[in-house]
Structure 1
Amino acid sequence: MSEKIALFGAGGKMGVRLSKNLLKSNYRVAHVEPGAPGRQRLKDELGVDCVSIDEALDNADVVILAIPDTIIGKIAHEISPKLKAGTMVMLLDAAAPFAGHLPDRKDITYFIAHPCHPTIYNDEVEEAARRDYFGGGAAKQSITSSLMQGPESAWDLGEAVAKTIYQPIKDSYRLTVDQMAILEPGLSETVCATLLAVMRDAMDETIRRGVPEKCARDFLLGHMNILGAVIFNEIPGAFSDACNKAITFGKPRLMRDDWLKVFDREEIAESIRRIT
């Protein structure tokens, strides 16, 4: 008989994505959703009925917490006494585990799985896949996972469930919890999201200074495409002397000298403290 999965937060945005992919598998899934709108959405879109917490946890092999970081600790402690020894609790983000918000139970497994999302440079040809920016639908994406606690034999089950909920999969990477925290919030949010927000602010400023909006957008996104392809070695190429000079003088104008300290463990820990 296939493993039983209890999916908490099944009616949320992430939960529905996971529910759709789990329906394609042989896993037995029990859906838990406290909100009436979420329960109705599952019923209308997927024909899925939700069950009580106790029914979902009864003999569950894997418990997926597709819930906000701010309540993971609370929910994990509430359900912990109901879990049989050997149960796998799967988190979709490293923040709460990194911050130490999980119950101290040595006889259960903690597994973390997080998507990379479809890459900007890819080989997708179908329209649905090319416009699947989030992943878990039509476009292939890589995933990152960590066996935080539990026997080595639990890895295969955790990775298999992760590949199911985030399918279709490009590559699967095994990391430590600390490495996952470096990637998010460090690389993806503190650095990437911040710099992209700055780029959007810069585009808005060029528009304020008189450049037509559509022109500014086309110009910026087009240069993001080609400059990114060169910087990330997607294509062979080199920047012009003028561009290299702009980078040399632009980076210290835009970035603090010690900006790489955002990857120090203390900085990551403080960022996660704010998140959770």
Structure 2
Amino acid sequence: MNPKIALFGAGGKMGVRLSRNLIGSPYTVAHVEPGAAGRQRLHDELGISAQPADTALAGAQVVVLAVPDTLIGRLAAEIAPQLQPGTLVITLDAAAPFAGHLPARPDLSYFVTHPCHPTIFSPEVHTPGAPDYFGGGTAPQSIVNALMQGPEAHYALGEAIARTLYQPILRSYRVTVDQMALLEPGLSETVCATLLDTMREAMDEVVARGVPADCARDFLLGHMTILAAVIFKQIPGQFSDACNKAIVNGKPRLLRDDWRQVFDREEIAESIRRIT
């Protein structure tokens, strides 16, 4: 028997994506959206009517919290008294669980799942007329999952639901909550987003020094593609001696020697504290 899912935040940007992918699934879904704009969006885009939280939670075996990290702790505390023992609570990010914002209920199961998003080398990302940079549409993506607490059977259930939420799926990985925190915010935001933002600032700088803006953008994005393909071994190849020398000389100018400490647990914990 497939469980009933209570989806909180169903009318938000992420919630609508999940609601769309749950249409036609074997699960019974009750959608909860407190905001008027979100309820209207849910109705206009998907023809779905939101329900009061009490109604949605009645008989729900699974609760999905598709709300911002800053709200998860408060929302989870509010609904916890209505959750029956054995309920599977799913969050879409490791931040709040890592920070200890979920209720201390050993009789509940906590499952965390997060999308990897389609890789830059996925051809479906660039489908003409319908590009899918985020995932959950036409481009396959991998997902990462963690069972924070609960019986092993709830990992299988959580992963099955996650595959529906984020379809189409390329691969599914099982990690711990701590490992997921290394991936985000550590790898994806603290490192990747920061360096990409720096690259954008570097592009703006060469434009300020006289290079035409379109030229600088095409030059940078084109080099990002081929350099990434070589660095991440998407294709066989190697850099020129000049490029390798530029990397050796550039790293100490751009990066601190101790930059890897951003992955230390106390650093991750402080980053998550700021996020949540």
- Which position in structure 2 is the counterpart of 1:135? 135
- Which position in structure 2 is the counterpart of 1:171? 171
- Deviation per residue, 1:21-56 (Å, 9 max, x gap): 001312100000000010011111111011111111
Q: Sequence identity of aligned pairs in percent? A: 71
- Which position in structure 2 is the counterpart of 1:16? 16
Conserved? CA contact 1:118–1:140, under 8 Å: yes
SS at match of 1:170: strand
Conserved? CA contact 1:181–1:268, under 8 Å: yes
- 1:7-46 aligned within 5 A: 7-46=7-46
Aligned-pair CA distance for 1:10? 0.4
Conserved? CA contact 2:10–2:32, under 8 Å: yes
Compared with structure 1, are the counterparts of its residues 178 and 57 closer, same or farther at alpha carbon in structure 2 (3 Å cutoff)?
A: same
Letter in 1 for 2:166: Y
Aligned length: 276
Distance 1:128 1:274 in 2: 39
Letter in 2 for 1:114: H
- Deviation per residue, 1:201-252 (Å, 9 max, x gap): 0000111111011110000000000010010001111111110000000000
Distance 1:70 1:254 in 2: 32
The answer to whether residue 223 in structure 2 is matched with residue 213 in structure 1 is no
Following superposition, which runs of at least 4 residues in structure 1 exceed 4 angstroms of deviation? Answer: none
Aligned-pair CA distance for 1:2? 2.4
- Which position in structure 1 is the counterpart of 2:68? 68
Letter in 1 for 2:272: I
- Deviation per residue, 1:114-154 (Å, 9 max, x gap): 00000011243872697200000111000000000000111
Conserved? CA contact 1:119–1:141, under 8 Å: yes
Conserved? CA contact 1:130–1:139, under 8 Å: no
- Which position in structure 2 is the counterpart of 1:107? 107
- Which position in structure 2 is the counterpart of 1:253? 253
- Which position in structure 1 is the counterpart of 2:58? 58
- Which position in structure 2 is the counterpart of 1:234? 234
Distance 2:100 2:125 in 1: 43
- Which position in structure 2 is the counterpart of 1:267? 267
Letter in 2 for 1:144: V
| Length-normalised TM-score, structure 2 | 0.98
Letter in 2 for 1:57: L
Letter in 2 for 1:248: V
Runs of 5+ unmatched residues, structure 2:
none
- CA RMSD in angstroms comes to 1.2
Conserved? CA contact 2:118–2:125, under 8 Å: no
Conserved? CA contact 1:128–1:138, under 8 Å: no
SS at match of 1:124: helix
Distance 2:25 2:129 in 1: 21
Distance 2:153 2:47 in 1: 34
Aligned-pair CA distance for 1:3? 1.1
Letter in 2 for 1:17: R
Compared with structure 1, are the counterparts of its residues 164 and 85 closer, same or farther at alpha carbon in structure 2 (3 Å cutoff)?
A: same
Letter in 2 for 1:84: Q
- 1:154-193 aligned within 5 A: 154-193=154-193
- Which position in structure 2 is the counterpart of 1:150? 150
